[in-house]
Amino acid sequence: MLPTRVARRRFEQLPPERQEEILRVAAEEFARAGFQRTSYNQLLERLQLGKSSAYYYFDDKRDLFLTALQRCYEKFFAVVRTVERPEGAEGFWAFVERSTELGYEFMLEDPTAAALMMCLQREKALLDELGSTELLGVIEAFYADMIREGQRLGTVRADMPFDLVVALVRDASMTFDRWFITARSASTSPSPREAARWYTEVVQRLCRSA
């Protein structure tokens, strides 16, 4: 990041509509079959982007994937961040529930982004093989901050290793995300409101102070 990542700088000087097209198509392809199973060669062909150009604008396959993914997360957080947090413990849990509900609504509105975000979770083991993803760090920090705040308010238990609580909540959130989209494509279609209610109840069970 010191010289502002040379490849990234070049990409950002492409015509904005071309940037948009590249990231949109990449997101579609990666969301369809995941990172590993998507052929970079075929993706570049569909993008009408020569190989030398590809490696001129992106470091490698992983870089393009993460760039497209990051844009999805930006859209996601732009929606979720609109929730304001009331004070006190009840406000904390209301905030959790409302944010989650907006998150599920986002997943319905932008299924490609949702699928791509699930990819990161499914294949994170393969992705952070070379250097921390920094995106995973941001997500981890999101949950850690949340739990720290809940502990500060005295409504989240502090009698268990902090990392364990964070991991449990993070993974339960992933479980719900997966369940929400698979249940959606099946017959049972929970509304974002219902799903968020269940999620909040489960997280409260998981880690609310006794």
Partner DNA sequence: ATTTGGCTTGTACCGTCGGTACAACCGTAG
Partner DNA sequence: CTACGGTTGTACCGACGGTACAAGCCAAAT
The one among 61, 71, 170, 184 contacting DNA by CB under 7 A: 61
Whether the CB-CB separation of 107 and 180 falls below 8 Å is answered with: yes
Partner from DNA, a copy of itself, none binding residue 139, C-beta < 5-8 Å depending on class: none
Q: Which is nearer to a copy of itself, 22 or 200 (by Cβ)?
A: 200
- Is there binding between residue 52 and DNA (CB under 7 A)? yes
Partner from a copy of itself, DNA, none binding residue 74, C-beta < 5-8 Å depending on class: none
Instruction: In whole angstroms, give the CA distance from residue 202 to residue 200.
Output: 5
Whether the CB-CB separation of 36 and 77 falls below 8 Å is answered with: no
Partner from a copy of itself, DNA, none binding residue 10, C-beta < 5-8 Å depending on class: DNA
Partner from a copy of itself, DNA, none binding residue 168, C-beta < 5-8 Å depending on class: a copy of itself
Partner from a copy of itself, DNA, none binding residue 92, C-beta < 5-8 Å depending on class: none
Minimum distance between the CB of residue 187 and a copy of itself, rounded to whole angstroms? 11
Minimum distance between the CB of residue 111 and DNA, rounded to whole angstroms? 23
Write the CA distances from 201 to 94, 116, 179, 188, integer angstroms: 11, 27, 15, 20
Minimum distance between the CB of residue 36 and DNA, rounded to whole angstroms? 8
The one among 38, 67, 99, 155 contacting DNA by CB under 7 A: 38
SS3 84: coil
Token pair, residue 155, equals 């409504």
SS3 15: coil
- Is there binding between residue 62 and DNA (CB under 7 A)? yes
- Give the burial class of 22: count Cβ atoms within 10 A of its Cβ; 0-12 exposed, 13-18 middle, 19 or more buried: buried
Report the sign of the C-alpha dihedral through residues 159, 162, 163, 165, in that order.
Answer: positive
The one among 30, 40, 93, 104 contacting DNA by CB under 7 A: 40
Q: Which is nearer to a copy of itself, 95 or 198 (by Cβ)?
A: 198
Token pair, residue 112, equals 């490609």
- Give the burial class of 37: count Cβ atoms within 10 A of its Cβ; 0-12 exposed, 13-18 middle, 19 or more buried: exposed
- Is there binding between residue 20 and DNA (CB under 7 A)? no
Q: Which is nearer to DNA, 13 or 185 (by Cβ)?
A: 13
Instruction: In whole angstroms, give the CA distance from residue 71 to residue 75.
Output: 6
Contacting positions for DNA (CB under 7 A): 10, 13, 38-42, 50-53, 55-57, 60-62
